[in-house]
Amino acid sequence: MFAYIIRRLFILVPTLLGVSLIVFLMLRLTPGDPAELLLGERATEKSLQEVREHLGLNEPLHVQYGMFMKRLMKGDLGETIFTRQKVWIEIKQRFPATMELAVCALFLSCVFGVVLGIISATKQYSIFDYLSMLGALAGVSMPIFWLGLVLMLFFSVNLGWLPISGRLSVATTLEVITNFYVIDAILTKNWLALKDALWHLIMPSVTLSTIPTAIIARMTRSSMLEVLRQDYIKTAKAKGLSKFKVVYKHALRNALIPVVTTIGLQFGVLLCGAILTETIFAWPGVGKWMYDAVMQRDYMVIQGGTLIIATIFIVINLFVDLLYAVINPKISIR
């Protein structure tokens, strides 16, 4: 298994190199001048040239890419064009917000998706089966930005039950330790801040979890139906085992292998898909930060954020592959 991990980590290098090259070229081919966005439309040509020279934008593309890779080899993702802050520092400040939102959304997706899938498979062709799969189809089809706006209009504007944006209310104070507000509230025993942080998480996490919930539910149902038709399940039923033991002890563990793959991939998707959700709910995470960077043509932010997300995605896939051997000992990792 150790040799397998080393091989996968070696694959990480050319993958990230390819990602960095594609993002670099796409950004340079996108219309828009960072210098003009920084100085404004009324800036003189001399001022624009000075800014372009300072940012290295006057250099040929291969020279700009070489400069970027040279900094990257030293662990430097560059500086943001507008704030002149190190990209790595900006990511470190905002990533906990994105991770907190993604973990909460994944938790909701796993709980509701797996439960709906199991019940649909054990009650195939029932009313519940049809309704849950119809709901899953609707969940996949609904655009995130539309659902987010509908939830805001209904629960925040009309009913006033939930906060409309942000991570904490203005009146709530919290001592920040890890920048994960839920964890920080627990560590400092600030239960008012904990309640407020969880209250702010509800709408964004529900919005973000709709598509993964639908996909996990459909995959769980399909995998469970396949396993329930196996001979060893029929043998377990013939021995007089209860339905609960047959489903949850014998069938579910074998059915979880493709479901775990789906969950792992969906976590990576959640980190990427958080861009829309964070923008709608003004959630101060990496997603909104990268959205603002795209609008401002801040090359360094987009390149650094994309590389971080790509790295996380690859590491999650490696973790999922290793988890196979834990779920099913018959699988060997080589």
Q: Convert the pLDDT of each residue in 158-173 to its tens digit.
A: 888 888 888 888 888 8
Q: How many domains are contained in the chain?
A: 2
Is 334 inside a domain boundary? no
Q: Are residues 29 and 147 in the same domain?
A: no
Is 68 inside a domain boundary? yes
Q: Are residues 43 and 114 in the same domain?
A: no
Single out the residue in 39, 73, 107 at which a domain terminates. 73
Alpha-carbon distance of 80 to 213, in angstroms, equals 36
Q: Are residues 155 and 240 in the same domain?
A: yes
Contact assessment for residue 20 and residue 70, using Cβ atoms and an 8 Å cutoff: no
Q: Which of the pair, 324 or 279, is modelled with greater confidence?
A: 279
Q: Are residues 25 and 140 in the same domain?
A: no
Contact assessment for residue 254 and residue 154, using Cβ atoms and an 8 Å cutoff: no
Average pLDDT value for the chain: 81
What domain range includes position 223?
87-327
Q: Are residues 126 and 227 in the same domain?
A: yes
Question: What's this model's pTM, rounded to 2 decimal places?
Answer: 0.79
The residues, any chain, with a CB within 8 Å of residue 127's CB and separated by 6 or more, are none
Is 32 inside a domain boundary? yes
**Quick one: pLDDT band at residue 334, thresholds 50, 70, 90?**
low
**Quick one: pLDDT band at residue 107, thresholds 50, 70, 90?**
very high
Is 40 inside a domain boundary? yes
pLDDT, tens digit, 9 for 90 and up, residues 13-72 = 788 788 778 877 777 777 666 666 666 667 777 777 777 777 677 777 778 788 778 877
Q: Are residues 69 and 103 in the same domain?
A: no
Q: Are residues 240 and 274 in the same domain?
A: yes
- pLDDT of residue 272 exceeding 70: no
Average pLDDT of the segment spanning 287-299: 79
Q: Are residues 38 and 149 in the same domain?
A: no
How high is the pLDDT of residue 325?
64
- Of the chain, the percentage scoring pLDDT greater than 70 comes to 91
- pLDDT of residue 331 exceeding 80: no
Q: Are residues 310 and 181 in the same domain?
A: yes
Q: Are residues 10 and 140 in the same domain?
A: no
Is 333 inside a domain boundary? no
Is 332 inside a domain boundary? no
Q: Are residues 117 and 139 in the same domain?
A: yes
Q: Residue 229: count other Cβ atoms within 10 Å of its Cβ.
A: 10
Alpha-carbon distance of 302 to 95, in angstroms, equals 14
Q: Are residues 37 and 95 in the same domain?
A: no
Bridge partners of 86, per DSSP, are 79
Is 81 inside a domain boundary? no
pLDDT, tens digit, 9 for 90 and up, residues 169-206 = 888 888 888 888 899 899 998 899 999 899 999 999 99
- pLDDT of residue 332 exceeding 60: no
CATH number at residue 320: 1.10.3720.10
Alpha-carbon distance of 168 to 201, in angstroms, equals 9
